[in-house]
Structure 1
């Protein structure tokens, strides 16, 4: 009862925000969605009348992007998430939502100053030699100020927006309620599992709001790329980092899409593209922990061609088996092996509730044979992956979130690379790690480890099995455990067994009759022996006829 009252109070508290969201949807021509959810009554009549006078002029994907921009940080992040899900929405929408940027109006410096003072518990003059009140960048969740430490190091202070957590949580609650409504009132959306998507989005956004998660990600990347001269991971200043603030090295250099700036550093843009791709591929296939948003704004180029990834808020994670299955998928596409592709998709948990296997096989076969000569040197990987996602979406298959992030990262880094070099081909950079994964699978040490693990499992089973059987038998004796057999066609099996038993018994009788008649012929009356032979022959003929009918 208390939970019901609390939920009702929360809904009443969120009513103005509900009205704002629904009014915005109607303003941009999504009246059909509001009506389908039966939520028209929440919009005030005067607002509905005013909105009806201004028909939308943009196409539907553009209007969805405008809805996200108008509704603020949570919906900007939701639009960005949807832009990574071509398995859920058409390409026109993903392309439009990909244009959403976090560049928003900065909040006043006095609020940032108050947050920093509260987090550090002391005057800022004791922390920094200088602090620039003008933000370097401003995003939907945070903004960045440049500061100089007393030891002379220049750092970037990433400060979370004031009250953003409360705003985001209220929006997340509304989104989850709308998702539940959509599942009940829009059955066609059931295959896309709106509530599961809303919960996944909630988990992702809450992790992004907690800067300690981003800080741990930076530390992990520093360990992975320690000693790698091609990558530079900014250091973090632990003393001035909290759940609401990250203090990290200020990265200079030029943006990865600044061709003139790159040439000004004396670098070849094509080599910069290769270096950036190798860093991402190393993260994916060697570490299984990769930057999920490697767009140009998140990559800086330093002197010497060193790449410095920025923003560690969105990362994907793949275990060893998943990486091998991804390699199997790419190898199956290249070999034009339909069975291998389907098997790899199933192993990657790319599945659906109601799938037509024949239709899926046909579409995958058409996809891979649309390219007469597939090879890592010849294919356009981004096009091939988009086509594969189109097939997956057509058949309402579900893609695990990290696999979606992987596809997005590969497509994004290839697009960025081609801005630097029109002939850039990420598929060529994939060949060495794919070959290494294939060899690693059959490495003697790995095979030995697998054998040891298998032996350990067998030993554990052998140790547990006697006790398990003993307890089960005792439970059966005490009547605590009922064993139920459900054998399909059991009655038919019984009949067949009875017939076979009868035939066997008759065969024994005939054999005995013939043997007895032979004995009688030698020692007794011949007429009795011949009668026995005749009976045996008749029964043998009957038995043969019966067996032929069975």
Structure 2
């Protein structure tokens, strides 16, 4: 019996040693198959889908890591390590944007605009997304032409530069010559955008939704609106339509039609169908709006240049209700006026991102600006309440104008009388800031989405003015256009018979206060310009306003604003 047991043990050992190589071989085969499958999917995604799936998985993975990191380390006991936490998370987000490129640069710009309210590491991480984007090879440009038009560029152009003259996140621009000798700019969408767009936008919306759920902050409410605008921006047929409409509206605006030019957009080449990824425009030479040396080299007046640029954006906002939402200095060019000697003319390009303002919102926005200058506090608070924004009148006015503005001095004085609060830890400051922002945005369903882009436009125009030394009185010029828009928005005559004596007199008083306020600000502006002229190193008007606004934001809300990205 003992011999029988020993025999069974030997048989089991022999069987086990014989099956071990078989298990190893099966494990190796499974591993090889798994690696081959993953590698095959990766290659297929890269070659056939422009790595759209890989980009989304990369984003999801980084989002998960950042979420876990915050949940574990954003706690009172680790208050002294919060700066390091922000640096880690910001570095990971920057890596995702830099690695994915394409539409992520555009989404990064959207995040960069909000980063002004975030801790310093995020401001530094997103500041680079406004820089030049890498270009694609000429062979890929050929591929877009062949797929969309069925021809090579050389078949429809007399000349076509193989190297792009400019490259952005979505497209790049080549200089070409038509068969009739006309010089044109050819905008070609990068081929990967078409395949990547929907998954990229889905990843963006998913991250915004996840952040809202995990951190209990209203963030997702802007995601759908931003995604829709991004889709419009990738459509060159939409851009061509925007450019033509802008030219038509300019022709109907006597104050601007001679001083602002929109390059002509050509239709599809003969024998070719229209393409949503290729656009041919008139070539126009000019320098960037913030190139002070080039503007002065042409003998042009900086104030006249900025007055035209600010007036154009103001007319779009308050009169047309059709707003170019990417007025960075590369999209507004300056040249000598072709018919007015010594005068400037600005050229508006890149018409991909426009918003149309609903009539009611535009009228309210005009009314808001007007109310700020006649100190109509009830009207200001009524509009803020209707828009779901829980800010006191002083902060709301300052945020709209991008300058410190007190419409209710009593509240300000009461706040100043309070005893100074004890110093708080980094963790306590950021928790408090979160609660304040949450309170401000608690009625996010009421907040007009258009405010997102209008605030961006205002800040960009302020930055353009700063870069030229603040030659233009931006606030006053914008307010005057707001008053024009307000007057034109009144559909019926405001006669004594129609509105009554009290309202009629109030209108006249408001108009008087409005003009006096503008006159006082103009005097202050001219005084600042005089001091700049006497002491060239002195800060300009916009620099002074920006510094005061940053100080007010920090004092009122604990927000450190640093939006140097707009100066790009």
Query: For 1:32, which of 62, 69, 89 is the aligned residue?
Result: 69
Q: Match of 1:234, SS? A: coil
Alignment of 1:109-120 (within 5 A): 109-120=138-149
Q: Which residue of 1 aligns with 2:204?
A: 175
1:121 and 2:169 matched? no
Distance 1:104 1:151 in 2: 32
Distance 1:60 1:337 in 2: 44
1:218 and 2:243 matched? yes
TM-score (ref. length: structure 1): 0.63
Q: Which residue of 1 aligns with 2:368?
A: 329
Distance 1:327 1:393 in 2: 27
Computed over aligned residues only, the root mean square deviation of the Cα atoms, in angstroms, reads 3.9
1:132 and 2:161 matched? yes
Query: For 1:395, which of 413, 418, 440 is the aligned residue?
Result: 440
Alignment of 1:34-433 (within 5 A): 58=87, 64-85=93-114, 93=122, 97=126, 99-101=128-130, 103-184=132-213, 186=214, 188-189=216-217, 191-192=218-219, 194=220, 196-226=221-251, 228-240=257-269, 242-304=275-337, 305-347=344-386, 349-351=387-389, 360=390, 364-367=392-395, 381-384=401-404, 394-397=439-442, 398=444, 399-433=447-481
Shift in Å, 1:263: 1.1
Could you list the per-position Cα deviations for residues 497-523 of structure 1 after superposition, in whole angstroms to 9, with x for gaps in the alignment?
xxxxxxxxxxxxxxxxxxxxxxxxxxx
Q: Tell me, yes or no, if the aligned pair for 1:418 and 1:424 is still in contact at 8 Å.
A: no
Change in CA separation of 1:387 and 1:310 when aligned onto 2, cut-off 3 Å: farther
Distance 1:385 1:406 in 2: 19
Shift in Å, 1:339: 2.0
- Stretches (4+) displaced over 6 A: 12-15, 385-393
Q: Tell me, yes or no, if the aligned pair for 2:175 and 2:184 is still in contact at 8 Å.
A: yes
Which stretch of structure 1 is more off in the superposition, 300-309 or 394-403?
394-403
Shift in Å, 1:109: 0.3
Q: Which has the higher contact order (CA 8 A, sep 6+)?
A: 2
Change in CA separation of 1:257 and 1:210 when aligned onto 2, cut-off 3 Å: same
Q: Tell me, yes or no, if the aligned pair for 1:236 and 1:249 is still in contact at 8 Å.
A: yes
Change in CA separation of 1:386 and 1:141 when aligned onto 2, cut-off 3 Å: farther
Q: Match of 2:229, SS? A: helix
Q: Which residue of 2 aligns with 1:21?
A: 59
Q: Match of 1:80, SS? A: helix
Distance 2:379 2:335 in 1: 42
Could you list the per-position Cα deviations for residues 106-125 of structure 1 after superposition, in whole angstroms to 9, with x for gaps in the alignment?
11101101211332223433
Q: Tell me, yes or no, if the aligned pair for 1:84 and 1:404 is still in contact at 8 Å.
A: no
Shift in Å, 1:328: 2.2
Q: Tell me, yes or no, if the aligned pair for 1:84 and 1:405 is still in contact at 8 Å.
A: no
Distance 1:314 1:163 in 2: 20
Distance 2:358 2:195 in 1: 34
Q: Tell me, yes or no, if the aligned pair for 1:102 and 1:138 is still in contact at 8 Å.
A: no
Distance 1:159 1:422 in 2: 35
Shift in Å, 1:215: 0.9
Q: Which residue of 2 aligns with 1:440?
A: 488
Larger radius of gyration: 1
Distance 1:368 1:172 in 2: 31
- Structure 2 residues without counterparts, runs of 5 or longer: 1-40, 46-51, 74-83, 338-343, 409-432, 500-568
Change in CA separation of 1:93 and 1:309 when aligned onto 2, cut-off 3 Å: farther
Q: Tell me, yes or no, if the aligned pair for 2:377 and 2:407 is still in contact at 8 Å.
A: no
Q: Tell me, yes or no, if the aligned pair for 2:138 and 2:162 is still in contact at 8 Å.
A: yes
Could you list the per-position Cα deviations for residues 387-416 of structure 1 after superposition, in whole angstroms to 9, with x for gaps in the alignment?
999987652253322122112111211220
Shift in Å, 1:334: 3.1
Q: Match of 2:158, SS? A: strand
Shift in Å, 1:150: 0.8
Shift in Å, 1:169: 1.8
Q: Match of 2:260, SS? A: coil
Distance 2:245 2:406 in 1: 31
Shift in Å, 1:435: 2.5
Q: Which residue of 1 aligns with 2:558?
A: none
Distance 1:342 1:160 in 2: 45
Could you list the per-position Cα deviations for residues 196-248 of structure 1 after superposition, in whole angstroms to 9, with x for gaps in the alignment?
43322321222112211111101101111127111110111112451011111
Change in CA separation of 1:314 and 1:89 when aligned onto 2, cut-off 3 Å: farther
Q: Tell me, yes or no, if the aligned pair for 2:370 and 2:483 is still in contact at 8 Å.
A: no
Shift in Å, 1:442: 4.6
Alignment of 1:448-527 (within 5 A): none
Could you list the per-position Cα deviations for residues 436-476 of structure 1 after superposition, in whole angstroms to 9, with x for gaps in the alignment?
234335564699xx99xxxxxxxxxxxxxxxxxxxxxxxxx
Distance 1:57 1:323 in 2: 38
